[in-house]
Structure 1
Amino acid sequence: MSNNQQRPPILIAGAGLSSLLLAQSLLRSHIPFQIFERDASLSFRGQGYRLRLSTEGLDAIEDVLGPDDFKRFYDICGKTGGSGFTLMNAVTGEEIEHTVPAKLNSRDSLIVGVARGEMRKFFLEGCEEYIQWTKKVVDYKDTPQGVKIIFGDGSESVEGSMLIIGDGLKSKISKKLSEGKIKHFDTLARGIHGQAPTPAFKGLTEGVFSLIDKSIEREADEGEGEGETKLSVITNVRSKDMDDPTLQFGWTMAGSPGLIKAPNDDYTIIGKQAADIAKSLTSKWHEKLKPLFEQMVEDEAAFWKITCSSPSGVPVWTNHPRITVIGDAVHSMTPAGGIGANTAVRDSALLGRLIREAGGYREGLTREYEEKMRVYASEAVAISYGLAEKQFGIRIDEETSPTV
């Protein structure tokens, strides 16, 4: 262990899902690392919606955790059977014929999901002593034998053998690494996260439901066409939990550009203001669906912006032998298809395996990772964007659309 402690650590910017799963991989490989996170704790802000885990996502997590710890992780996941995926007219309450999305079921003919916060908490286990909170990463610099992180207060990290950028789509250093080639576009579509106690869902059977409202109207912003607008909500109902009224199920609302607007365009607002907008937008929905919003936990409601990285694919930048990027920092996606988090954990598994096989840093490692990552991540972004084009009417022009 003493020799291991003397080795320069791998520096990880950000403590999101991909960063923490990578940390788990390094922990199991006995490779030293340090994580730097701008928030004060995991519970510092809302953790977002429930994630559906695909076959690829579960395989990646199992590859990192190993059979025993993966079983513990799988046990905390919700498993939904029943009718699977149901598309429903939110106003009439009638089912809409559709083609079942490919790969919705991931294991045991079940749809597997987990709350983002629970997933982060699980991935943090054992890594607590290697994370520093309230560390805002703003820059990096090369050193004779590695790399250092520069923080917002001007201080610097220890020298690391590598730097893994995993601090999300607003990462300053991913833009520096790629010389501005990594971009995340504001689709102008907006959403609201919410949750309600299980009795509010008694009008639905077990399964994943996509509730669609094409009838809703909005005032067109200046320069926008009138066009068809759409509001949708996706939720996951697990029958085995329905008998416990103390539990809550979550839902995620998404609206076409111009439909959902936060007060003063402030999308950091959490609570009643977001809840009131969700209730207003669904006030004409079918009676069996309205309880999801009428009984919602108002304090938990939160706005969110729907963003997406370059639909043409993950760009190619000049490779840095000691620095690379994972997760949303390189390939953010729309919620359509539920692909983003699954792609992020694939990054963790791939990069973690390459580092484990090398015993740490080696020349050419980041290049090999990036070449492989670009293939599956570019495909995932294209699918996510294509689905969002159809569902929300978004359009990204990579030359003129606004970025975040």
Structure 2
Amino acid sequence: MATKNQKPILISGGGLASLLLAQSLLRSSIPFTIFERDSSISFRGQGYRLRLSAEGIDAIESVLSPEDFKTFWGMCGKTGGAGFGQIDGPSGELVLPKEKSDEEKASQKATEEGKKGQEEKGPVETLASRDGNVIGISRGDMRRLFMSGCEPFVEWSHRVTGYELTPDGVRAVFEDGSKSVEGSMLVAGEGVSSKVAKQLSGGKLKVYDTGARGIHGQAPTTAFKGLGEGVWRVTDSSDPRGLYSVITNVRPGEMDDPNIQFGWTMVGPPGLVQAPNDNYSVIGKPAADIAKALTAKWHPRVKSLFTEMDENEAAFWKITCSTPSGIPGWTNNPRVTVIGDAAHSMTPAGGIGANTAVRDSAVLGNLLREAGGYQEDITAEYEKEMRVYGSEAVNSSYTFAVTQMGIKIDEETSATL
């Protein structure tokens, strides 16, 4: 059990992994403080819709109270059918019809072709995660739910740039040089640009720019009527560079409500999706214009996703990844550790990144709960387990991206963040 007058667990960053960890601490009555660089939860757009894996759902369920998980589950979209349908953008014709579940395909291929033949064709991207359905939720909705109850413990407009160890704890160091209250532990969850991760690992934790780029967008559900329920991938047979857009969780029961939006993610190989002046921090119309230009010759069946898009919600993104050889080792610090993208950046291929991040939160939160708060061996135990599943996840994410995006990184590639 947590004891009175404990020093708080300090958490840098207020993203999904950080907030789910905070939920675990909240339920365990372990004090914590979150430092978030933004000025509020609505300061900027929250990006695309997330597809949840079985592991991700299990991790979230293990942290939330039964009542909160029921709320979370009610917010999720459930799409029937487990396989991708693939459509050619210019013609609007089906390239691949809706398929059997990926589990069924994997089993069938393994039986017919043997393990070696299956490996040669690349990994199987499993979509269904619970009850035979594809489960998805808006990143913004999930963040707001995870924030519930944590608001009094968030300090906004605080960008963490490092840490300072004390004789009996640790302090976060902010961009302006000021320092936080003394905490028992600092957990870095501020994403791919984490300064804490670099300080902790002595520069061993690196993030690589794959060169691939993407655009997120949203459109009213009525724009998706030409597709229907399911998970769809749109490819462009006329473009040898391999542009494709993945439209996730086109859900039943909402297709006639123009007040609801579905999201899509466009991803292009290196050199295809380019922001004005190479400035990928710009959002809105500049990103929307690029998406519309790339799909200008597409068939109305799929072109409506772009012509009817909400331009204000469009956003560029650079696709980054940790080295596929695995999460490196570093000298353990009992007072400091990392979670989420700060520990393992991933490409969007396979939808693995966020699911691995919430798994971090569940593992670390459970260790803290069992110990009743800080304990000297917790970070070492957590990192040992995280390196195993985290390295597997990064490798899977990278392997998917090699075939889908034409990227290539290795130990000789220059880290960019």
Q: 1:3 to 1:383 in 2, by over 3 A?
A: closer
Deviations 1:265-295 (A, max 9, x none): 1001111111111001011112200100011
CA distance in 2, matches of 1:83, 1:256: 26
Q: 1:194 to 1:102 in 2, by over 3 A?
A: closer
- Match for residue 284 of structure 1? 297
Matched, 1:31 2:30: yes
Gaps of 5+ in 1: 217-227
- Match for residue 241 of structure 2? 229
Q: In the alignment, residue 185 of structure 2 is paired with which amino acid?
A: M
Gaps of 5+ in 2: 103-123
- Match for residue 66 of structure 1? 65
Deviation at residue 69 of structure 1 after TM alignment: 1.5
Name the SS for the 2:145 alignment partner.
Answer: helix
Q: In the alignment, residue 6 of structure 2 is paired with which amino acid?
A: R
- Match for residue 345 of structure 1? 358
8 Å CA contact retained: 1:214, 1:229: no
Deviation at residue 337 of structure 1 after TM alignment: 0.2
- Match for residue 113 of structure 2? none
Deviations 1:360-397 (A, max 9, x none): 11121101100000111100100100110001100112
Q: 1:188 to 1:347 in 2, by over 3 A?
A: same
TM-score normalised according to structure 2 size: 0.91
8 Å CA contact retained: 1:229, 1:392: no
CA distance in 2, matches of 1:54, 1:394: 24
Give the number of aligned pairs.
392
8 Å CA contact retained: 1:136, 1:151: yes
CA distance in 2, matches of 1:7, 1:391: 48
Q: In the alignment, residue 301 of structure 1 is paired with which amino acid?
A: A
Alignment counterpart, residue 136 of structure 2, candidates 113, 116, 120: 113
What RMSD in Å do the two structures reach over aligned CA positions? 1.5
CA distance in 2, matches of 1:338, 1:385: 11
Runs of at least 4 residues of structure 1 off by over 4 A?
A: none
8 Å CA contact retained: 2:350, 2:400: yes
- Match for residue 407 of structure 2? 394
Alignment counterpart, residue 159 of structure 1, candidates 169, 178, 182: 182
- Match for residue 335 of structure 1? 348
CA distance in 2, matches of 1:332, 1:397: 14
Alignment counterpart, residue 383 of structure 1, candidates 386, 396, 411: 396
8 Å CA contact retained: 1:26, 1:33: yes
- Match for residue 110 of structure 2? none
- Match for residue 247 of structure 1? 260
CA distance in 2, matches of 1:25, 1:85: 35
Q: In the alignment, residue 400 of structure 1 is paired with which amino acid?
A: T
Q: In the alignment, residue 115 of structure 1 is paired with which amino acid?
A: S
Q: 1:331 to 1:214 in 2, by over 3 A?
A: farther
Deviations 1:230-267 (A, max 9, x none): 11111131121112111111111100000011001100
- Match for residue 198 of structure 2? 175
Deviation at residue 2 of structure 1 after TM alignment: 11
Matched, 1:308 2:288: no
More divergent stretch after superposition (291-300 vs 66-75)? 66-75
Deviation at residue 95 of structure 1 after TM alignment: 2.5
Name the SS for the 1:288 alignment partner.
Answer: helix
More divergent stretch after superposition (293-302 vs 94-103)? 94-103
CA distance in 2, matches of 1:391, 1:288: 23
Q: In the alignment, residue 192 of structure 2 is paired with which amino acid?
A: L
- Match for residue 77 of structure 2? 78
More divergent stretch after superposition (277-286 vs 332-341)? 277-286
- Match for residue 223 of structure 1? none
Q: In the alignment, residue 243 of structure 2 is paired with which amino acid?
A: L
CA distance in 1, matches of 2:25, 2:245: 38
CA distance in 2, matches of 1:83, 1:288: 22
8 Å CA contact retained: 1:82, 1:205: no
8 Å CA contact retained: 1:49, 1:116: yes
Q: 1:2 to 1:364 in 2, by over 3 A?
A: closer
Q: How does 1:119-268 map to 2 (within 5 A)?
A: 119-216=142-239, 228-235=240-247, 236-268=249-281
Name the SS for the 1:183 alignment partner.
Answer: coil
8 Å CA contact retained: 1:269, 1:303: yes
Q: In the alignment, residue 321 of structure 2 is paired with which amino acid?
A: C
- Match for residue 47 of structure 2? 48
Name the SS for the 1:158 alignment partner.
Answer: coil
8 Å CA contact retained: 1:83, 1:206: no
Q: In the alignment, residue 204 of structure 2 is paired with which amino acid?
A: K
CA distance in 1, matches of 2:387, 2:373: 22
Q: 1:192 to 1:2 in 2, by over 3 A?
A: closer
CA distance in 2, matches of 1:26, 1:305: 32
CA distance in 1, matches of 2:413, 2:261: 41
Deviation at residue 229 of structure 1 after TM alignment: 1.4
CA distance in 2, matches of 1:106, 1:299: 31
CA distance in 2, matches of 1:336, 1:346: 18
More divergent stretch after superposition (231-240 vs 47-56)? 231-240
Q: In the alignment, residue 142 of structure 1 is paired with which amino acid?
A: L
Name the SS for the 1:386 alignment partner.
Answer: helix
Deviation at residue 61 of structure 1 after TM alignment: 0.2
CA distance in 1, matches of 2:327, 2:93: 40
Name the SS for the 2:283 alignment partner.
Answer: coil
Q: 1:118 to 1:375 in 2, by over 3 A?
A: same
Deviation at residue 214 of structure 1 after TM alignment: 4.4
- Match for residue 114 of structure 2? none
